[in-house]
Structure 1
Amino acid sequence: MAILKKLQRFLHDDPRGRHAQFYCDNDLLFLPDFYNDLKAKAIYSKLSREMAWRQEKISMFGKRVLIPRLQAWHGNPESIYRYSGLDLIPEFWTPTLLQVRNDVSSVAMTEFNSVLGNWYRDGQDSMGWHSDDEKALGEHPIIASVSLGQQRRFCLRHKISGEKQTILLRSGSLILMFGTLQENWQHSLPKSAKPMQGRINLTYRTIVNPVTPKID
């Protein structure tokens, strides 16, 4: 796979890759030291003010329910995304989002045109099992996921074998998902009963098949 070979060269040449690990049949790369603590705190603070945060409602089992986290969608004007019956119309890029995009693009070797922000306010905010396999993302999407703030558990589960893997996402870490990961694995961010502070997660994506918004 071309991207895997490029990533292996990056890990050999860049100090940010010194503690990197591959997971999930080598379709996920975890870089725990992408940003240092000081940089991660600064980005978190800026994003908490810059992004268009709101608590959306999605369709689950025929009902409209509030998602257990705050969410924001930013990107190029054409990057309209749909999941769980929700149309996400992108807000403009902010300076900080563009800065982080440039940083992750240098590793992923991909020009991302959108980013989904999730703000987990405490341990009760969460994300259920899912795969980012919507048609809008195309086949074998490359997704870059940056964690800022509270360390949380990121769980992965193979769709056929049921094998599970867990990664502790520290502040300033980066995950790259590529290849057949979305086809073969699900992931989640479970709740925690422990007292926890906030965590902002950015998942940079490339919308290759934008949707037409529904008209109510």
Structure 2
Amino acid sequence: MDRTTDEKLVELRRMFPDYDPAGLLDVLVSCDGSLKRTRTLLGSGEETQRSIKRFKPQQTLSRFIKAPHSAVRTTHSSKPITLYAKSEIEASLKYCTYHTNVLPEDLAEKLLHQTLNDAHYKASEFYLFGNKCTSNHQSRMFMPAKPSDVFYYNGREVTDYGVYSNEMMLAQVLIEDVVNNALSQRIGLPFQAKSGQWEAQAAFSNKYEKDSNLDWHSDRMTNIGPHPIIASLSLGFSRDFRVRKVYPSDSQIFSIKPQHNSLVIMHAGFQEEYKHCVPLLPKKYRIPTEDLHPTAGARRINITYRNYLIKDPIFCRLCGSPMDLRRMFKDPAKRGRYFYQCSKSYTEHNGFNEGNECKGFSYANFEKDPPLTDDEEHGSFWLADDDIEARALQSSKC
């Protein structure tokens, strides 16, 4: 005779006492009432890896969370896990906080209208191996006023930019309050700005049409420095914002959908530990009418307020081009070391044979001016406290 749902829940609560009972019921229902499949999903080992493919690809993590700040247990899947609630997002993404309704409604609408109708947005251009590439979304840099010195962004001098409107400046002031309140509740990382309150010196904005996207990347730290803090404001239509760890390469993908007038704060450590993207909408996907924004329709505006810590560019000793600040992550034996790499192959056709790049390289030492060293052991270094693999491997070499 089949066991009742209540009997199955009693068994599950005995086996998984740390899980919320309502969450256990959610999993049991998603497994069509199968106690065996539920045990497999919530368990571990090779059987879980084989079985997970049979379950629903889109999941919410609330079913796995006992309390908002408890550790989240997830099984690896190639499908994104969707995070809906603030507690889910912040429990799953260590260096991220999510905030809704950050601006007065009328201010958010005015800022959205201004940016949607700004005709100066344009596609970004860059070079890879001598080939010119163009993004399929549009971008624009904004500044409070004309900079007194030469301003660089991603290896290029910024000459085309917009000046803040009153609405953009007011939004920045309000967002700075949200960011500083969030920072007051977090433990700082060693290389993030120590100069009191977080302030933004510029804003970089992306405009997404229905058929636009942004590929996987981490924001370059060249000017925003190590352990940067970026406040990302979403306006208009809600699009997927996907995040995954930079290591290993098959890390679980998490997806959130920032709502109109919401803020994702990418805290210190986010750019070092995560990559993010805005994927294309599925082909032939028909957006439900109720999901369209009354002003923007299917268009989305993203404004990222940034604190620029490094004003003076570092120039390559081989070719004289500006260099990019990066951090090693692929090899756990070297993970955590910051370095400067020539950006010439990304910013212009360098005249070399196709496939060749400038080899300009130096380790970064943030205690020096300029912050360069040829000695790896004297370079600046940071590992996440939960990076067990790299910590164990590097400790064994000491």
- TM-score normalised to structure 1 length: 0.79
| Offset of residue 117 of structure 1 | 0.6
| Offset of residue 121 of structure 1 | 1.7
Q: 2:310 maps to which residue? A: 209
Give the Cα–Cα distance (whole angstroms) in 2 for the partners of residues 169 and 94 of structure 1.
Answer: 24
Size of the aligned set, in residue pairs, is 196
1:100 equivalent to 2:171? Answer: yes
| Offset of residue 41 of structure 1 | 2.8
| Counterpart AA for 1:71 | S
Given candidates 102, 126, 130, the residue that maps to 1:62 is: 130
Give the Cα–Cα distance (whole angstroms) in 1 for the partners of residues 220 and 178 of structure 2.
Answer: 22
Residues 150, 157 of structure 2: 8 Å contact kept: no
Q: 1:28 maps to which residue? A: 96
Q: How do 1:71-90 and structure 2 match up within 5 A?
A: 71-75=139-143, 77=147, 78=149, 80-83=151-154, 86-89=156-159, 90=161
Pair 23,68 (structure 1): closer, same or farther in 2 beyond 3 Å: farther
Q: 1:158 maps to which residue? A: 245
The CA RMSD over aligned residues, in Å, is 2.7
| Counterpart AA for 2:308 | I
Given candidates 202, 205, 223, the residue that maps to 1:117 is: 205
More deviation, 200-209/90-99? 90-99
Residues 112, 205 of structure 1: 8 Å contact kept: yes
Residues 201, 308 of structure 2: 8 Å contact kept: yes
Give the Cα–Cα distance (whole angstroms) in 2 for the partners of residues 116 and 195 of structure 1.
Answer: 30
1:177 equivalent to 2:266? Answer: yes
Q: 1:149 maps to which residue? A: 236
Residues 144, 175 of structure 1: 8 Å contact kept: yes
Residues 81, 207 of structure 1: 8 Å contact kept: no
Pair 39,92 (structure 1): closer, same or farther in 2 beyond 3 Å: closer
In structure 2, the gaps of 5 or more residues are 1-84, 181-197, 288-297, 316-320, 323-347, 349-398
| Counterpart AA for 2:170 | Q
- TM-score normalised to structure 2 length: 0.45
More deviation, 189-198/104-113? 189-198
More deviation, 102-111/187-196? 187-196
In structure 1, the gaps of 5 or more residues are 1-18
| Counterpart AA for 1:113 | Q
| Counterpart AA for 1:147 | S
Q: Deviations over 1:91-120 (max 9, x none)?
A: 322222111111110111221001101000
SS at match of 1:65: strand
Given candidates 107, 110, 115, the residue that maps to 1:47 is: 115
Q: 1:5 maps to which residue? A: none
Residues 121, 198 of structure 1: 8 Å contact kept: yes
| Structure with greater proportional strand content | 1
Pair 53,79 (structure 1): closer, same or farther in 2 beyond 3 Å: farther
Given candidates 199, 219, 223, the residue that maps to 1:136 is: 223
| Offset of residue 164 of structure 1 | 1.7
Percent identity reads 21
Give the Cα–Cα distance (whole angstroms) in 2 for the partners of residues 60 and 95 of structure 1.
Answer: 38
| Offset of residue 51 of structure 1 | 7.3
Pair 174,79 (structure 1): closer, same or farther in 2 beyond 3 Å: farther
Pair 121,53 (structure 1): closer, same or farther in 2 beyond 3 Å: same
Residues 23, 29 of structure 1: 8 Å contact kept: no
Q: 2:370 maps to which residue? A: none
Greater Rg over alpha carbons, structure:
2
Pair 24,73 (structure 1): closer, same or farther in 2 beyond 3 Å: farther
Residues 82, 211 of structure 1: 8 Å contact kept: no
Residues 70, 120 of structure 1: 8 Å contact kept: yes
Give the Cα–Cα distance (whole angstroms) in 2 for the partners of residues 180 and 150 of structure 1.
Answer: 28
Give the Cα–Cα distance (whole angstroms) in 1 for the partners of residues 156 and 151 of structure 2.
Answer: 10
Higher relative contact order, structure no. (Cα contacts within 8 Å, ≥ 6 residues apart): 1
